[in-house]
Amino acid sequence: MNKKITILFLFAAAVFFSSCQKNIDVFVPDPGQTTGPDTTWYATVTSTMPVASLQSNLLVEPVKDSVEISAANFTYLTSSTGIQCGFPPLCCVSTAGAAITGRIQVELFIIKKKGDMVLMNKPTSSNGNMLVSAGEIFIRLTKNGQEVNLAPGAKITIRYSDLPVNTSMKLFFGEELSNGLFNWIPNTDTANTIGFAQQVYEITTKRLHWINLDYFYDTTGITRSVVSVKLPSNYTNANTTAFLVFKDFRSVLRLNADLTERRFTSGKVPNGKAAYVVVISKQGNDYFMSKESITTGVNTNTNGVQALSLTPVKTSLADIKTWLATL
């Protein structure tokens, strides 16, 4: 009898425990997949890396307009951005050099806010030197989807208002670099000029695309230091951009990747200036941002490096743009 009871009990236990099995939901990575975040710093940033996608997603769309190019008369375009462009007759040619008249499309926008400079990834630096901008302008001409150039010797006029007008402003043209970097080149062609009026800048230029009015920040006799930002290991130059945004003047510097130190560092910046350190990253389909208000040159080490440690948090793209719009 005891043996029978034992057998019955074991059988009941088997039935009971068989109905208590755990559910399973597992993800099996494909072979060769990384099982953690990418912590590699790359010497060359390619267009396939997340940072390229980040920058693409942050871009502001240009204002699109059109203008009629006349064979005999000046034509003007006043865009909703506040920029007025003047086109002399027969100023446009195709890439083949053929004269273009008639209606052409104009992509135009002006960047006067520092947040937009971050969004457009257009810091104000020229060959590593800090610039103070009066506004960054972009103009592009197309006809039927084809790029339109200015005819040789032809110049267009760009006028926009700004306060205050600083007559120290010089003309710079933008230069797209590899690794997603951007540089402003000082104008050396005397045919390109800047006019100053009351609250108005007038640029006469033979070049299209990125045009900037800046002056070099005079650091003569000013102690300068380097701002260096340390981020968690999953933030690398492959997925992150960092900027130093000065609060008191229109200057935005991009922090460059230090592959050796695995940090983002600025060039030498004047001490004592209020600024934001802004870090934006894209990992997966999510965005992360960190913003730190600092005063440059504070707590620097013996090498004149102001080391900061930031931890970005997950933030929506809309929230990132909203905050940058406040800069």
Partner 1 sequence: MNYNQHFDKHIKEQLQDYSPQVHPRIWENIVKEREKKRPAGFWWQIFNSRNRLLVAGLLIVFAGGGAYYFLKTNSTGNKPGIAATINNAAEKPKSNSTSLTAGEISTESKPVSGNTGNDTKTNAANPPGTGNNSTTSSIDTYTNTFAAAPDNNDKTKNTLGSVTKSYTNNGRQKITVKNGEAAFEDEEETINPLPEYSLPFIFYTAQKNTAAKAVASLRNRNLGNVKEPGCPTIEKNAAGNKTYIEVYGGPDYAFRSLSDTGNSVYLQKRKESTKFSSAFSAGFRYTKVFSNGVSVRAGINYSQINEKFTYSEGNIVQVVYIINAAGDTIGSYMTTGSRYKTTYNKFRTIDVPVVLGYELGNGNLHANVNAGVIINAYSWQKGEVLDATLQPVDITTGKSNSPYQFKTNIGVGFIGGVSVYYKLNEKLHLMAEPYFRYNLTPASKENITFKQKYNTAGLRLGVRLDLK
Quote the least distance from Cβ 179 to partner 1, whole Å.
22
The number of beta carbons lying within 10 Å of the beta carbon of residue 18 is 8
Among 2, 3, 27, 96, binds partner 1 (CB under 8 A): 27
**Cβ nearer to partner 1, comparing 207 with 291:** 291
Q: Which is nearer to partner 1, 39 or 301 (CB)?
A: 39
In degrees and rounded to multiples of 5, residue 293 shows phi and psi of -85, 125
DSSP run (H or E) holding 183: strand 182-186
**In this structure, how many other beta carbons lie within 10 angstroms of the beta carbon of residue 41?**
17
State in Å, rounded, how far the first CA of the chain is from the last one.
86
Angle at 284 between CA 30 and CA 54, to 5 degrees: 140
- For 38, residues 6+ apart whose C-beta sits below 8 A from its C-beta are 234, 236, 238, 239
Interface stretch with partner 1, choices 65-73, 79-87, 148-156, 277-285 (CB under 8 A) = 277-285
Does 101 engage in binding with partner 1 (CB under 8 A)? no
3 binds partner 1 (CB under 8 A): no
Among 217, 235, 243, 246, binds partner 1 (CB under 8 A): 235
Counting contacts by CB under 8 A, is residue 40 touching partner 1?
A: no
User: Shortest CA distance to 203 belongs to which of 164, 173, 172, 159?
Assistant: 159
Of 40, 189, 304, 314, which lies in the binding site for partner 1, with binding defined by CB under 8 A?
314
Residues 203-232 that bind partner 1 (CB under 8 A): 232
What's the CA gap between 107 and 309, in Å, rounded?
A: 40
Nearer to partner 1, 64 or 314 (CB): 314
In degrees, rounded to 5, the angle at the alpha carbon of residue 210 between the alpha carbons of residues 74 and 42 is: 160
Residue 71 interacting with partner 1 (CB under 8 A) = no
Q: Is 33 an interacting residue with respect to partner 1 (CB under 8 A)?
A: yes
Interface contacts to partner 1, rule CB under 8 A: 8, 11-12, 15-16, 18-19, 21-30, 33-38, 232, 234-235, 281, 283-286, 288, 311-314
